[in-house]
Every structure is written in structure tokens, then in C-alpha cells.
Structure 1
């Protein structure tokens, strides 16, 4: 074994990155610009990994009660965007596509926590944040995950107000 001298205060580059930013969405109406903004946020805030988590059509139908295109079509579009932009560090999580059924958010988060590095930040739209806050399980998992909203919300669910310290939006740099 060989001794190595390092300067006082040295931190390896890996220790400087924050963990995982999970973009949790159906990606039905998400534009390339919105995807690029998520990559930009992951880089600016020094996340180790950006994970795109497309929801299965059964999950989307239960959450929004509106029709959505097939999971594989939305996933293929994300792979095409990633390939065209050259984002090799972006992961597209296909676990929900393999399940082929409705997946509650807490189940999805358990999978993410078992697979990726902490801390965990969920990148969502303001509408998705309000929807997630309306679920009974919200209070159980919001203490383990922070939310990063893609825009400033017009309307804030009372539970989001209650857990204001657990979320932020991309217009601010508090996280």
C-alpha cells in the first residue's frame, strides 16, 4: 500500500455531485426544450444523474383521466431526443414499462431509491406537484424526496404549502 499526499480540504469530484434528479412525467406533451431545461438544471445544480421516468399509460390514465399514447412510443421519443442531443449521462428508466400496469408514486420512488444514489429530487411540473400532493401517501414520502418544479406554480395545494421547505422551482437557486 502506498501513501498519497492530498491538499487540505480536497474533495473528490464524485463527492461534489448531489445525487439523482428524477424527471417524473408522462412525457406526452413534453417538448425538447423542456427536456433540455431539465438537463440544464441537472448540470447547474450538480446532480450526479438525470433520470427520465416516463409513466405507463395505465398510471397516466389514473392520474389525469385522459388518453395517452403507448408507453413504447413515448419512450422511443425520449431515446431519440437523447441520441440527437448526445446526452450520454441521461438515463431513461424503463421499469414502469416492464411492469405494464399502474404504478403508485410511492412504489416508483422505492424502486428509484433502490437503484440510484441519494439524495433524490423529483423534477415535476406544477400540475404534477399539486396532483402528487393530493395523494394520501404524500406525507410519507415527501420527507425522503425533495421536489423541483419546472415552473412557478399558479395554484399551490395545501400540502405543498405545509411542506414548503421540501420543494423549490427552477427560477430560484435555494437547493
Structure 2
């Protein structure tokens, strides 16, 4: 593949990139409120992300992951669309409904492969604490923790899996201020 030649003036320094990467948000989204969404947007803007992709998961995927969900997939997507319409931000917000088109169980590594192939990096994964405890038990976790940086939302206040300590430099917790205490 041939390289494109670009002409620049002598001494040109490209401007430093101030925005970085894409954050993927894996959740059921059925219990998210406008304040939760605003807290997430504020956090993402402070982190200077370029794009946030919300990825609601199908009921079959949630069932196999043993994550409870009261609402069907389409209702959660409508709820999330309404939340996104109410939000004003400079961040590019996208809703990916690929899993809804599949209408079946989709492993998390398949979803991550799909999302990372179609979006520019670096990539970040934002999941709740109960998702993190499930994700760490998968054999593919060791490969994915090297490819994406993990942000764990303290949403359900469950204790985190002990194996996460082995990868302490690749993840951090996020408190969006949505606790009811």
C-alpha cells in the first residue's frame, strides 16, 4: 500500500491531540436515569474521550451471564434512545444495536471484536461491577485486558473479584455519584 505524501511548511509540528479514544459502555441500561447519563457524560468529557458507544445487550446474553433484566431488549433500547436525546454534549454519542439484530447470545469477546474493528482506538471499556466480576472469569479476559483499558462503575456495590488485582494497572473504578446512600 502506497503512502500519501503531505506537504507541510518547514518546522511544522503537528498539534498535540487533546482528545482520545472510544469508550464502550456495556450495560442493561434499564435502571439508568437522566442523572446517571449526565454523570457518565460529565466523566467522559473530563477524560476527554472522542466518542462513547452504548451497547445494550440482548436478553439471551444477559441470561447466560446470569445478569437479571426485567425489561426486553427493545424497551431498554427505547429508554436509552430517550436518555441520549435529552443529553447535550460535545462528545459523539452512539447507540449500537448490533446484538439486537442478532437476536441471540453474543459472547463479550465477539461484541468487543465487532466494536474495536469498526472504531478508531485507543479503546476503553466501561462496565458495572457485576459485569466486571463476570468478565474476569472468561478465558478471553487475559487477551482483552491488554487491548482495552477497563473502567468499572461502582453501580451495584458488589465486591470485585480477586483476580482483578493481578491487572491493577489496567483498570480503575469510577464513581458516577449515582448511589442512593
TM-score (norm 1): 0.85
Shift of 1:83: 1.1
Shift of 1:69: 1.4
Shift of 1:79: 0.8
> Partner of 2:163 in structure 1?
159
Shift of 1:139: 1.1
Confirm whether residue 113 of structure 1 aligns to residue 103 of structure 2. Answer: no
Q: 1:61 to 1:46 in 2, by over 3 A?
A: same
TM-score (norm 2): 0.82
After superposition, the CA RMSD in angstroms is 2.4
Whole-Å separation in 2 of the counterparts to 1:39 and 1:113? 21
Whole-Å separation in 2 of the counterparts to 1:66 and 1:151? 17
Whole-Å separation in 2 of the counterparts to 1:64 and 1:6? 59
Contact 1:61 1:68 in 2 (8 A): no
- For structure 2, the residue ranges without an aligned partner over 5 or more in a row are 176-181
Q: Deviations over 1:118-155 (max 9, x none)?
A: 11111111121111112222112111111112239652
> Partner of 1:104 in structure 2?
107
Confirm whether residue 55 of structure 1 aligns to residue 53 of structure 2. Answer: no
Q: 1:2 to 1:77 in 2, by over 3 A?
A: closer
> Partner of 1:44 in structure 2?
46
After TM superposition, the runs of 4+ consecutive aligned structure 1 residues lying more than 4 A away are: 1-10
Whole-Å separation in 2 of the counterparts to 1:37 and 1:49? 16
> Partner of 2:135 in structure 1?
132
Q: 1:42 to 1:65 in 2, by over 3 A?
A: closer
Confirm whether residue 17 of structure 1 aligns to residue 52 of structure 2. Answer: no
Contact 1:57 1:68 in 2 (8 A): no
What SS does the corresponding residue of 1:127 show, helix, strand or coil? Answer: helix
Shift of 1:28: 2.1
Shift of 1:170: 2.4
Whole-Å separation in 1 of the counterparts to 2:46 and 2:151? 13
What SS does the corresponding residue of 1:53 show, helix, strand or coil? Answer: strand
Whole-Å separation in 2 of the counterparts to 1:65 and 1:24? 12
